[in-house]
């Protein structure tokens, strides 16, 4: 009987057979070598680990299930070998249409969405432009007495957001393989790089400066308002204290005068 090893993969714990563990380790080492000196290497490896973790979780029949060589082989078959792919933009034909319908999962696309990404996510799921989904929501808002707003917020709550690269691929129906994960991560890095290159840093700097000035001015106004309120409150307390002392003095004077008047020896006259 082979030894079992406890591992943490993609934030999940697994009991794995020693031979299966060694094969999985060699698999990840091969992936790291293939991605050596490439942009976004850490992000790609992280997404691949999370996807492998999801596939192994689907194969667990119970909490005591031990991942074996068969499980690892099936996962590697789904993910593909590092040497089996070369990302080429124009040379490879589109292999998306293989006679079967793409398997998609419903997620919110907050990156491309305007509010919560619900309409964009539904557009990906049904394969239509998100504009038509938004029009449908608007029709329900005006013709359905606001049911469109209620439906939107319900979908916002129950539909998860596509955060990881694997979830973004599942949202569009693309196979979650090593090549697609690498391609997606590199596209995101290039998009982010283009945004930095095309950014007007002087404009951004002026916006930050004006924003800081507004915050500073607002904070100063807030402090002055608090100080004025405190000064008025203190003034009211001083006035009330002065009036109280004055009233007590007047009461004391009248009381003293009355006592002298009563005790005066009128009988001697």
Q: Give the mean model confidence (pLDDT) for residues 76-81.
A: 81
Cβ burial, residue 32 (10 Å; 0-12/13-18/19+)? middle
Answer yes or no: do 195 and 250 share one domain.
no
In this predicted structure, the answer to whether residue 7 has a pLDDT above a threshold of 60 is yes
Answer yes or no: do 66 and 138 share one domain.
no
Domain boundary among 84, 107, 134: 84
pLDDT of residue 254: 67
- What pTM was computed for the model? 0.50
Rounded to an integer, what distance in angstroms lies between the CA atom of residue 105 and that of residue 108? 10
Q: Give the mean model confidence (pLDDT) for residues 214-227.
A: 70
Q: Is residue 139 part of a domain?
A: yes
Answer yes or no: do 32 and 75 share one domain.
yes
Please state which of the ranges 94-103, 108-117, 173-182 shows the lowest mean pLDDT: 94-103
Instruction: Please tell me whether residue 27 adopts helix, strand or coil conformation.
Output: helix
- How close are the terminal C-alpha atoms of the chain, in Å? 130
Answer yes or no: do 138 and 164 share one domain.
yes
Q: What is the DSSP letter of 67?
A: E
Answer yes or no: do 226 and 174 share one domain.
no
In this predicted structure, the answer to whether residue 90 has a pLDDT above a threshold of 50 is no
Q: Is 136 left (phi over 0), alpha (psi -120 to 50) or beta?
A: alpha
pLDDT of residue 167: 78
- The token pair that represents 140 in the structure block: 């329900």
Of 116, 194, 130, 129, the closest CA to residue 162 belongs to 116
pLDDT tens for 111-165 read 777 777 888 888 888 888 888 888 887 787 777 666 777 777 888 888 888 877 7
In this predicted structure, the answer to whether residue 57 has a pLDDT above a threshold of 80 is yes
Q: Is residue 97 part of a domain?
A: no
The order of strands in the sheet holding 4-9 is 4-9, 12-17, 66-67
Q: Is residue 195 part of a domain?
A: yes
Phi, psi of 212 (to 5 degrees): -65, -40
In this predicted structure, the answer to whether residue 33 has a pLDDT above a threshold of 70 is yes
In this predicted structure, the answer to whether residue 260 has a pLDDT above a threshold of 60 is no
Q: Is residue 152 part of a domain?
A: yes
Rounded to an integer, what distance in angstroms lies between the CA atom of residue 159 and that of residue 162? 9
* Angle ∠(63,64,70) on CA atoms, nearest 5: 105
Instruction: Please tell me whether residue 7 adopts helix, strand or coil conformation.
Output: strand
User: By residue range, what is the domain housing residue 70?
Assistant: 4-84
pLDDT of residue 95: 46
Rounded to an integer, what distance in angstroms lies between the CA atom of residue 14 and that of residue 6? 6
Cβ burial, residue 143 (10 Å; 0-12/13-18/19+)? exposed
Q: How many domains does the chain have?
A: 3
Domain boundary among 84, 102, 131: 84
């Amino acid at each position: 009987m082979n030894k079992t090893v406890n591992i943490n993969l993609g934030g999940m714990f697994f009991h794995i057979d020693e031979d299966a563990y060694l094969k999985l380790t060699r698999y990840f080492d091969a992936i790291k070598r293939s991605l050596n000196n490439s942009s976004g290497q850490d992000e790609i490896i992280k997404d691949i680990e999370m996807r492998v973790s999801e596939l192994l979780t689907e194969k667990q029949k119970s909490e005591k299930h031990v991942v074996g060589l068969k499980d690892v082989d099936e996962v590697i078959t789904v993910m593909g070998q590092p040497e089996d792919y070369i990302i080429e933009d124009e040379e490879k034909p589109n292999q998306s249409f293989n006679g079967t319908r793409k398997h998609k999962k419903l997620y919110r696309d907050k990156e491309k969405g305007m509010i919560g990404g619900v309409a964009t996510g539904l557009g990906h799921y049904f394969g239509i432009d998100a504009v038509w989904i938004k029009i449908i929501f608007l029709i329900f808002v005006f013709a359905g007495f606001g049911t469109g707003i209620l439906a939107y917020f319900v979908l916002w709550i129950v539909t998860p957001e596509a955060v990881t690269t694997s979830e973004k691929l599942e949202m569009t129906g693309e196979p979650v393989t090593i090549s697609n994960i690498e391609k997606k991560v590199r596209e995101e890095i290039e998009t982010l790089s283009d945004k930095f290159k095309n950014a007007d840093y002087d404009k951004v700097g002026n916006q930050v400066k004006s924003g800081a000035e507004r915050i500073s001015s607002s904070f100063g106004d807030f402090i002055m308002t608090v100080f004025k309120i405190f000064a008025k409150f203190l003034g009211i307390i001083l006035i009330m204290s002065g009036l109280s002392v004055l009233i007590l003095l007047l009461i004391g004077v009248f009381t003293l005068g009355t006592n002298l008047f009563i005790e005066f020896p009128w009988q001697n006259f």
